[in-house]
Amino acid sequence: MSDLVMLFTVFVLAIFVGFEIITKVPPTLHTPLMSGSNAISGITIVGALILAGSVDHPLAKTMAFVAVIFASINVVGGFLVTHRMLKMFRRK
């Protein structure tokens, strides 16, 4: 199987998994769901790190560096603010 088909398989299956588990999140937690999933989308940091640490072209390096900053804001800010919110939800 070619790489592209392999990656595409993963993509399609992951979307199905996403639909299955996220429909079970209750409306009460929709805001933390958004901030938490937002933190997960900061996974782009992996790509940013690889490029920032390996490319030589100055423009490419600068862009990867800014991408590392953006993605770190997303990851750290996202998980922290989600934690802050989730801690507040309590039962009687």
Partner 1 sequence: MGIPQLTNVVYLVAAVLFILDLKMLAHPRTAVRGNFLGALGMLLAIAATLISGRLEWTYVILGVAIGSAIGAVAALRVKMTSMPELVGLFNGFGGGASVLVAGSALIATFSAVEAGTVSGGDLQMKIATVASGIIGSVTFFGSYVAFGKLAEFLYVKWKLYPWQRAVKYGFSLLVAAGGVAFTASLGISPHSLVLMASAVVIAGLLLLKRERFPGMNAVKVTLSIAAILLGVLMVMDPSNSLLFWVLVGAAGVLGVVLTMSIGGADMPVVIALLNSYSGLAAAATGFVINNNVLIIAGSLVGASGLILTNIMCKAMNRSLPNVLFGVMGPTEDTPDADEVYRTVKSASADEIAMILETAQNVVIVPGYGMAVAQAQHAVRDFANLLEARGINVDYAIHPVAGRMPGHMNVLLAEADVPYDKLKEMDEVNTTLETVDVAIVVGANDVVNPVARTDPNSPIAGMPIIDVDKSRTVVVIKRSLSPGFAGIPNPLFALDNTLMFFNDGKKAINELITAVKEL
Number of residues that bind partner 1 (CB under 8 A): 80
Q: How far is the CB of 9 from partner 1 (least distance, A)?
A: 10
39, 79 in Cβ contact below 8 A? Answer: yes
Burial state string for 57-70 with b = 16 or more CB within 10 A and e = fewer than 16? eeeeeeebeebbee
CB of 5 to partner 1, least distance (A): 10
Binding to partner 1 by CB under 8 A, coded x per residue (else -) over 29-68, reads xxxxxxxxxxxxxxxxxxxxxxxxxxxxx-xxx-xxxxxx
- Rounded to a whole number of angstroms, the minimum distance from the CB of residue 58 to partner 1 is 10
Tokens 């937690």 belong to residue: 29
Closest CA to 15 of 27, 23, 4, 3: 23
Tokens found for residue 47:
């790509």
Q: Is 1 in the site for partner 1 (CB under 8 A)?
A: no
Shortest CB 47 distance to partner 1, Å: 4
- Looking at residue 34, its amino acid is M
* Positions in 10-29 near partner 1 (CB under 8 A): 10-11, 14-15, 17-19, 21-29
